[in-house]
Structure 1
């Protein structure tokens, strides 16, 4: 429906849709001595009452009659340009657009005999203050994290990027509950094809309510059945800024503190923002350690099962005797023993996350110690198995991206099944399948394997070993950025 010149008809077209809510406020006023009437509609629980009273109602009700008021267009211009003291306002003639703005906390002004609505930004939404990100802690780096308000999140990025070509495209997603979504990129760096593909996929999102960025992630990823995350989510503005400076694209959704970054490669799951803040020697050492620990978290239980069940001859004699003596009296096969302990660890991990923080920490520490010690004393599992599972769990915590750690935990069980059936041959077969899958997998047209398949010097300077910052003369060639030169 479109706006009507009749004030009562225009008000009725909106109130028929939202008027049943007790917090919807309709205020009809006389515009001073001009002889015209008007109405404002807003939601009391979302609007800023002080701003509405001082910047909207008072100026409108104190208007004086002037020459030319009989002309509706001139009168509307006087209201907008010389009366209302709000900086953010737009005109529209669609009832649907007005209702959407009312439901987001804005105020709609309707003036009699004027065939357009005036939408004013008066939203006052409650939210938490900026805090340190809980899911991506660093020793050296920014302590600011995203919040649930999209305007605050955009400001955190704008404070760090002063580039005039920094571009943001606005969308609305959700059929029932529309949420604002912004696609951010640096126009002079980002590849146009990637930006167009991101926009195309966002436009195809068909959902009632995109409650979190995770909903958007599942709609726009390339391979739904891949265990690897193809879209990165982060709470850290500095990580987003670094990605934008390399030519990547950020997706910001209202109502969530997690911003999405595309395209993504597997090595990015092992990078931390702290790597850019430390000297190259420290960063390279820590990064190599993360690769080793990711390998340990994926393969250690399956290798233990394979050696104990199939390849005992490959174990050194003294170690084999020690393992055999520790397993004496254990009633279960190695695979069952490992599965029991891995599932127990997953249960403790999940319980620690869901419970209140002080209780969760106690459950994680005390539960692991008590259950492990009790299981060993009862002869259900061997001490060496407790050590293997504990080292595996600790290794998985070193992966900086939570979704990357989940992928390793999932694949670990496939490795254990393969090891229990075919030993080392099973592990090798699953590894080959994983490698072939990673080599074929793409994220918005970019190879997921990253620098491991792109033999270009600019890609290897920030891969397993981080080169000195002075050597970074070019941006990574993976996504073919427009501006390939860095300014050091």
Structure 2
């Protein structure tokens, strides 16, 4: 009986959905009053929907209406280029030139009167709602089953500001905003190429969020572009509120701590990826743009690497890899050495550590877990608290809490040094999502070290490398160009060679336009 009721409920829901969709897909009604009643009924008589009725012409006036959403449409544009044109210019045109019938008036409005740059002829109620809720202005005429959608989007946005998550000493200071049109303009400003294409679509049955897929035709692989579009088209969800929704729905692997899609709010980083042959995904309503394919090596590279000299950039990049391993295995190495492998520690240092741990009642694993968990809580609290209070939280946590724990004999001073080194090393990584991965993996290594010692750490590293080798990002091996090894692509991997030596695009990304520069080593002119 319960199954029968569920089936009937599902059928009823399907019928309701079909009825709603059929109502939306029906043509525009002939009278202004019917269209006005339908729009108000579907939108619940919302106060932000403005409907202005007026008469067109003087000799044979026709009833017309203009609809727009207050807050999404630019009122100045609506008043000056839509209402004024229709109410004044059309009347003067009718006085100076005889208009035979209403169809001539409709054609005149379409071809001469509406001065908006974006003009779309709409025929269904669904198109009315799509344009109305996107900030456009709807123009309807009495007696016609079609109307016009005039582009008038003009909501308030944050404006272009300095990036907050990726700071650089040298390089551009502008960042993406929450408006997709501003973001596409920031990319167009840097890449003035006719082959830079933007394919747009709407995702989300209720939010109808604008999504743009950006790539350079002839540089990006056709297989990767088609794969991105195919995955986006398969998304069936009510809402897309941030690019993280897209990232989770189209990534290759779900159960992995490592990020498989690169996101950034820096336009120069996106442009550099597009010029290499990658594909960018822009989502309206968020300043973070996705870039695919994303490889493990990408999360250790910064935009500033290409604005400094190659030797400085190479040193900083190697420093990031070293900091990655420090942040990942420093606590586990301390646990393994102090618990199982005391003979590997120099005798003076071993005596000092033993004296410090003499009054500590917990084993090294419990001590490390307590300190790491406390620091993670303090770090999260500092991020979520207001800026005026966040700095105070960090000072209290690092100074007062750490010193008090040592004086109380709960932890040893050496453990405080280890945790501090681990935390500082994680801040060296230029991208926040790879730092989160290190924070997750660190606890696994600590448990393995407490059970098997250094053998557990080596076992964990082997498992991690095997897992990394099994990952793919839109068909590209995650460890490229190290595995599979590409000798030509090592010029911009662990280190960065001078730009004049990087004349080819990465071979694992690009199979079409391989050459990006024809430069030689600069030689000084002799005087």
Report the TM range for the smaller structure's normalisation: over 0.9
Correspondence for 1:61 among 87, 92, 105:
87
Correspondence for 1:212 among 235, 242, 249:
242
Structure 2 residue runs of 5 or longer lacking an equivalent are 1-25, 519-527
The root-mean-square deviation of aligned C-alpha atoms, in Å, is 1.4
Q: Does 1:82 pair with 2:112?
A: yes
CA–CA distance in 2 between the matches of 1:19 and 1:411? 50
CA–CA distance in 2 between the matches of 1:455 and 1:417? 32
Larger Rg: 2
Q: CA deviation at 1:311?
A: 1.0
Q: Does 1:196 pair with 2:226?
A: yes
Tell me the alpha carbon deviations over residues 251-286 of structure 1, each in whole angstroms, 9 at most, x when there is no partner.
000100100000000010100000010010000000
CA–CA distance in 1 between the matches of 2:106 and 2:516? 50
TM-score of the superposed pair, with normalisation by structure 2: 0.90
Correspondence for 1:138 among 145, 164, 168:
168
CA–CA distance in 2 between the matches of 1:91 and 1:13? 19
Tell me the alpha carbon deviations over residues 75-94 of structure 1, each in whole angstroms, 9 at most, x when there is no partner.
33321221112111211212
Tell me the alpha carbon deviations over residues 110-169 of structure 1, each in whole angstroms, 9 at most, x when there is no partner.
112333221111122112121111100000011001111111111111100101000000
CA–CA distance in 2 between the matches of 1:105 and 1:18? 15
Please say which of residues 451-460 and 158-167 is displaced more in the overlay: 451-460
Q: Does 1:117 pair with 2:147?
A: yes
Tell me the alpha carbon deviations over residues 6-48 of structure 1, each in whole angstroms, 9 at most, x when there is no partner.
3333333333212510111111111122522211111122222
Maintained 8 Å contact 1:458/1:472:
no
Correspondence for 2:202 among 172, 175, 178:
172
1:331-410 aligned at under 5 Å gives the runs 331-410=361-440
Please say which of residues 334-343 and 90-99 is displaced more in the overlay: 90-99
Maintained 8 Å contact 1:475/1:481:
no
Could you tell me which residue of structure 2 aligns to residue 243 of structure 1? 273
TM-score of the superposed pair, with normalisation by structure 1: 0.97
Structure 1 residue runs of 5 or longer lacking an equivalent are none
CA–CA distance in 2 between the matches of 1:150 and 1:458? 36
Please say which of residues 338-347 and 111-120 is displaced more in the overlay: 111-120
Correspondence for 2:313 among 275, 283, 302:
283
Q: CA deviation at 1:68?
A: 5.0
Correspondence for 2:75 among 32, 40, 49:
49
Could you tell me which residue of structure 2 aligns to residue 29 of structure 1? 54
Q: CA deviation at 1:445?
A: 0.3
Maintained 8 Å contact 1:246/1:481:
no
SS of aligned partner of 1:386: helix
Tell me the alpha carbon deviations over residues 298-335 of structure 1, each in whole angstroms, 9 at most, x when there is no partner.
01000110111111111121211111111110110000
Please say which of residues 9-18 and 208-217 is displaced more in the overlay: 9-18
CA–CA distance in 2 between the matches of 1:267 and 1:341? 30
Could you tell me which residue of structure 2 aligns to residue 411 of structure 1? 441
Correspondence for 1:321 among 329, 342, 351:
351
SS of aligned partner of 1:159: helix
SS of aligned partner of 1:328: helix
